[in-house]
C-alpha cells in the first residue's frame, strides 16, 4: 500500500485513519484557542477513503532540499486536505518553493473558492502558482463545486473535476439514501452552530444572527435539541469547561456587541448553558449524529457528517461556500438572506431528499473516478468510468 503525505493535516491521527485534535486529552492547553473541528472531519473522512501504509505531514513553512529529495524517493503522493483555500487572504507560507522541488503528484482533495460578499475575487500570485503547480502534477484537480471550478477555469486550469467533499463519502456507501420518517416521529434534533461570523462571509450580520437565534429557539420549542458547536472558544467552554470557564464564556458573549444585541437573549443563554455539545474527537460527532433524527443549521461539515450517516439534514446558506455545497449535492437548503420565514414542514418532503439521493450517487462516482484517474489506491466501491474525458469536467 501507499506511503503518502498530507498538506494541512488538521489533527492527530490514531488507529490508522481516525482523527482528533492535537493533545485532545489536555483540554486546558487549548480551550482558549479557536480551531474549526470541521477541518478534522474532512481530514478523517479523506483517510477513510484511501488505502495507505504510512502517512506523514509535508512541511510548507520552510524548504529543506535534502528532506524533499528524500520524500520524492520514499512517498507515492501528497494530498491537500479539502478546505477553503482559494480566497484573497490565503497565506501559503513556502508552499510554492516546496512544490517546485516536489516530484510526486499533489492531489487536491475537494478544495474550494470563497467569493467575496461584493466585488470580484482577487487572488494572490502565490495562490495562482500553487493551483497551477498542483494541476500540472496530476491528471485532474478536485474541487467541491461549480463556482470553484469556474474560478480555476478563469486561471487557465482546465483539468478540474467536481468531487464535492470527502466527508459526504466517509461511510463508503455509493447507495446511501435519506429516507424521511413522519415528521411527528422526529424527537431529537441537532442544530449546527456558527455564531462567530464576519462581513467577509455574511452580507447582513444582523439578519444572520437574529435568524440563527430564532432557528435555535424554534427548534428547541418543538424538539429535544442539541446545539452542535465546532470550535468557537465560548461554545467550547460552555460544553466542556469548568464552572468558572462557563461563566467566563457567558461574560464574553455579553461583552460581544453583535452577540449581545442580536443573539444572546435570556432563552438563548439558557439553551447555551444546557444544550451545548462540542468534542475534539471526530468519532464523537459521528456517534452524536447517528442518534439524531434531524440535523440542520449553519455548519458545512456538521451537516454533511449527518447526511453521510443517513441522518436528514437541511442547510442554511449564507455565503458562496454553503451555496456551493448545497448545489453540488442537491441538499435541501434555505437562504438565510431570502427574507422568507423558514417552515420545517415545507422541507420535510421526500422528493427534496430524493434529489439529494440521486445526485449523491453521481458525485460519489465522480470522487471515485477522480481517485482512479490520479492512480490513488482507494477504498471507494464500484467500477471506474470508461476511458476518455472524466465526467463533470469544466471545459
* Predicted pLDDT of residue 395: 30
Strands of the 224-228 sheet, one edge to the other? 276-277, 224-228, 188-192, 294-297, 313-317, 333-335
**pTM of the predicted model as reported, rounded to 2 decimal places:** 0.95
Judgement on whether residues 208 and 325 belong to the same structural domain of the protein: yes
Q: Is the residue at 178 inside a domain?
A: no
Judgement on whether residues 214 and 153 belong to the same structural domain of the protein: no
Structural domain span for residue 18:
2-172+361-373
Place of cell 444572520: 208
Judgement on whether residues 199 and 242 belong to the same structural domain of the protein: yes
* Predicted pLDDT of residue 119: 85
List, in order, residues 6 or more apart from 3 with CB less than 8 Å away: 52, 53, 54, 74, 75, 76
Judgement on whether residues 151 and 273 belong to the same structural domain of the protein: no
Burial of 379 (0-12, 13-18, 19+ CB in 10 A): middle
Burial of 179 (0-12, 13-18, 19+ CB in 10 A): exposed
Which cell goes with 64?
Answer: 529543506
Q: Is the residue at 384 inside a domain?
A: no
* Predicted pLDDT of residue 199: 87
* Predicted pLDDT of residue 383: 55
Instruction: Output phi, psi for 336, to 5 deg.
Output: -60, -30
| Cα–Cα dist 186/295, whole Å | 11
Q: 3-class SS at 28?
A: helix
Of the candidates 271, 265, 260, 196, the one whose C-alpha atom is nearest the C-alpha of residue 234 is: 196
| Cα–Cα dist 225/190, whole Å | 6
Place of cell 464500484: 382
Q: Is the residue at 11 inside a domain?
A: yes
Judgement on whether residues 138 and 222 belong to the same structural domain of the protein: no
Of the candidates 289, 378, 356, 283, the one whose C-alpha atom is nearest the C-alpha of residue 79 is: 378
Residue 146: other Cβ atoms inside 10 A: 15
Judgement on whether residues 193 and 311 belong to the same structural domain of the protein: yes
Q: Could you tell me which residues are beta bridge partners of residue 142? A: 109, 161
Q: 3-class SS at 181?
A: coil
Burial of 26 (0-12, 13-18, 19+ CB in 10 A): exposed
pLDDT per position in the chain (395 positions), as tens? 899 999 999 999 999 999 999 999 999 899 999 999 999 999 999 999 999 999 999 999 999 999 999 999 999 999 999 999 999 999 999 999 999 999 999 999 999 999 998 889 999 999 999 999 999 999 999 999 999 999 999 999 999 999 999 999 999 999 999 999 999 999 999 999 999 998 888 999 999 999 999 999 999 999 999 999 999 999 999 999 999 999 999 999 999 999 999 999 999 999 999 999 999 999 999 999 999 999 999 999 999 999 999 999 999 999 999 999 999 999 999 999 999 999 999 999 999 999 999 999 999 999 999 999 999 999 998 754 433 333 333 33
CATH at 309: 3.40.50
| Cα–Cα dist 115/76, whole Å | 33
Judgement on whether residues 312 and 368 belong to the same structural domain of the protein: no
Q: Is the residue at 126 inside a domain?
A: yes
Judgement on whether residues 306 and 167 belong to the same structural domain of the protein: no
Q: 3-class SS at 278?
A: coil
Judgement on whether residues 296 and 164 belong to the same structural domain of the protein: no
Q: Is the residue at 383 inside a domain?
A: no
Q: How many domains does the chain have?
A: 2
Angle at 323 between CA 318 and CA 324, to 5 degrees: 145
Q: What is the dihedral of CA 343, 188, 276, 289, to 10 degrees?
A: -100
Judgement on whether residues 123 and 240 belong to the same structural domain of the protein: no
Place of cell 437541511: 314
| Cα–Cα dist 256/260, whole Å | 6
Run of H or E including 191? strand 188-192
Q: Are 4 and 50 in contact (CB under 8 A)?
A: yes
Q: What is the dihedral of CA 8, 14, 19, 22, to 10 degrees?
A: -70
Q: Is the residue at 355 inside a domain?
A: no
Q: Is the residue at 386 inside a domain?
A: no
Instruction: Output phi, psi for 30, to 5 deg.
Output: -140, 15
Judgement on whether residues 138 and 188 belong to the same structural domain of the protein: no
Q: Is the residue at 41 inside a domain?
A: yes
Angle at 166 between CA 165 and CA 170, to 5 degrees: 135
Q: 3-class SS at 20?
A: strand
* Predicted pLDDT of residue 108: 97
Judgement on whether residues 246 and 123 belong to the same structural domain of the protein: no
Q: 3-class SS at 148?
A: helix
Amino acid at each position: 500500500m501507499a506511503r503518502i503525505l498530507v498538506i494541512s493535516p488538521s489533527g492527530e491521527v490514531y488507529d490508522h485513519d481516525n482523527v482528533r485534535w492535537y493533545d485532545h486529552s489536555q483540554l486546558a492547553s487549548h480551550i482558549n484557542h479557536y480551531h474549526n473541528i470541521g477541518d478534522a472531519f474532512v481530514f478523517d473522512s479523506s483517510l477513510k477513503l484511501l488505502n495507505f501504509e504510512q502517512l506523514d505531514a509535508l512541511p510548507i513553512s520552510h524548504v529543506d532540499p535534502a528532506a524533499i529529495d528524500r520524500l520524492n524517493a520514499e512517498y507515492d503522493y501528497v494530498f491537500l486536505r479539502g478546505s477553503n483555500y482559494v480566497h484573497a487572504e490565503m497565506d501559503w507560507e513556502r508552499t510554492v518553493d516546496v512544490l517546485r522541488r516536489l516530484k510526486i503528484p499533489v492531489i487536491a482533495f475537494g478544495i474550494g473558492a470563497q467569493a467575496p460578499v461584493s466585488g470580484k475575487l482577487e487572488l494572490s500570485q502565490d495562490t495562482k502558482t500553487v493551483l497551477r503547480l498542483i494541476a500540472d502534477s496530476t491528471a485532474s484537480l478536485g474541487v467541491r463545486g461549480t463556482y470553484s471550478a469556474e474560478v480555476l477555469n478563469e486561471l487557465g486550469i482546465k483539468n478540474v473535476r467536481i468531487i464535492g467533499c470527502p466527508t459526504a463519502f466517509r461511510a463508503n456507501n455509493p447507495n446511501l439514501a435519506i429516507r424521511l420518517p413522519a415528521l411527528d416521529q422526529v424527537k431529537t434534533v441537532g442544530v449546527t452552530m456558527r455564531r462567530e461570523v464576519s462581513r467577509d462571509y455574511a452580507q447582513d450580520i444582523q439578519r444572520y444572527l437574529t435568524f440563527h437565534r430564532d432557528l435555535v429557539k424554534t427548534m428547541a420549542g418543538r424538539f429535544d435539541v442539541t446545539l452542535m458547536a465546532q470550535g468557537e472558544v465560548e461554545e467550547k467552554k460552555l460544553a466542556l469547561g469548568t464552572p468558572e470557564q462557563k461563566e467566563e464564556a457567558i461574560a464574553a458573549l455579553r461583552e460581544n456587541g453583535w452577540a449581545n444585541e442580536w443573539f444572546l437573549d435570556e432563552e438563548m443563554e439558557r439553551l447555551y448553558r444546557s444544550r451545548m455539545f462540542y468534542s475534539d474527537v471526530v468519532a464523537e460527532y459521528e456517534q452524536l449524529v447517528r442518534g439524531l433524527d434531524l440535523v440542520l443549521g449553519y455548519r458545512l461539515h456538521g451537516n454533511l457528517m449527518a447526511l453521510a450517516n443517513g441522518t436528514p439534514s437541511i442547510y442554511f446558506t449564507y455565503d458562496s461556500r454553503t451555496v456551493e455545497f448545497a448545489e453540488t449535492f442537491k441538499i435541501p437548503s434555505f437562504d438565510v438572506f431570502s427574507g422568507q420565514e423558514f417552515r420545517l414542514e415545507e422541507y420535510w418532503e421526500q422528493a427534496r431528499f430524493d434529489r439529494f439521493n440521486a445526485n449523491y450517487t453521481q458525485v460519489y462516482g465522480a470522487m471515485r473516478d477522480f481517485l482512479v484517474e490520479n492512480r490513488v489506491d482507494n477504498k471507494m466501491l464500484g467500477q471506474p468510468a470508461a476511458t476518455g474525458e472524466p465526467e463533470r469536467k469544466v471545459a
